[in-house]
Amino acid sequence: MQRIIALLDIDYFYAQCELLRNPSLKGKPVVVIMPTIRENTGAVATCNYEARALKIRSGMSLSLAKKLSNVNTIFIKADKEYYKEMSSKVFGLIDFYCSKVEQVSIDEAYLDLTNPQGFEKAVEACEKIKERIVSELGLTCSIGLSINKLIAKMASEEKKPDGLFVVQASEVDSFIEKMSVGKIHGLGPKSAGILKNEGISTVRELKTLKKNKLIELFGEARGGMFYDFARGCDDREIDTNREKQQTSRMMTLKTDSSSIEEMEEALTLLCELVFNEVKKIKRVFLTCSIIIITPKFDTITKSKTLSEPIKSIEELKRVEKQLLEAFMCESLQKVRRLGVRVSNFSEDYGFQKKLFDFKK
């Protein structure tokens, strides 16, 4: 079966979180700063595209960023806890579509989307992930999809922001040969300088070097890796390094509705799907949430945290119904999509069994 790997990257994550929290910043250059212990010093953690148009870049010193800024530029001190919270919500949505996730940073992850139906099914999953992240959290992300980590990472850079770029097996050579050697994973400025001295600046030119020559230049491990990478070969596996923090399911209603009976019917099905997912990973949970998407695509979330873990489907349905009724009492808005989310997991000490679950 053809391996299919995606690299998901949340666009200018810290800055996008700040725009989400303060919409009045939209259209202005926004620079998020990671300060140091010295006053008025620090480095740029990230910035939006308006700031990048001023040639401000991640990793740049605060003093240089200020020199490049204009009168409309907004500098914001990084709020790590807020970004961690938003990241957790993003990965909670990703978990619904993919069980093998390797989180490589707060805003980036590899997903193993290998399946019998091939790229068509994987593209569908990527589109759904992007849709849910933007509709439920207001964040955009860019995804590269290909046959391995290397090409997926390179593909994710092709259509930023809010892009989805696919490179199938037959397209790998034509895709990477035009790239500069600096685009190859692990090949930084110093290594690129060594290659430049050899007259090598593109991946196509890199392919002309024999493996022994690359080993001579970079050592056996890195030289061999660059030889393989120049040919689009990368056998690195997805290292599943995180546990699910939440589980959720969403459903689009047949028509925009304000009928509590219709929504309760959908809610029952969603509760069953979510509860079965939690049983599979052997967890119980304290927090239940209902997610409402309005016809205008506004997202409203109501949550309730209990003192004791929920262990039965009936208890989950009861709490979710209470949350739905609370929303209906407060709002006259119709509902387009409905979702159930459970979180605040702990180990399963034994799901509540029904009478007929016990063997005689």
- What positions carry a catalytic annotation? 108
What three-state secondary structure class fits 160? Answer: coil
Q: Which of 243, 118, 165, 161 is nearest to 7 (CA)?
A: 165
Give dist(CA 296, CA 330) in Å, integer.
17
H or E element at residue 257: strand 246-257
Burial zone of 202 (CB within 10 Å; 0-12 exposed, 13-18 middle, 19+ buried): middle
Query: Do 231 and 192 contact (CB within 8 A), yes or no?
Result: no
What three-state secondary structure class fits 333? Answer: coil
Give dist(CA 319, CA 336) in Å, integer.
21
Instruction: Fill in the DSSP letter of residue 309.
Output: E
- What counts of helices (H) and strands (E) characterise the chain? 13, 12
Instruction: State residue 20 phi and psi, 5-degree precision.
Output: -65, -40
Q: In what order do the strands lie in the sheet with 141-146?
A: 101-105, 108-112, 5-10, 141-146, 164-166
List Cβ neighbours of 150 (8 Å cut-off, separation of 6 or more): 184, 185, 229, 232, 233, 234, 236
Query: Do 264 and 255 contact (CB within 8 A), yes or no?
Result: no
Burial 140-164 (b: 16+ CB within 10 A, else e): bbbbbbbbbbbbbbbbbeeebeebb
List Cβ neighbours of 116 (8 Å cut-off, separation of 6 or more): 1
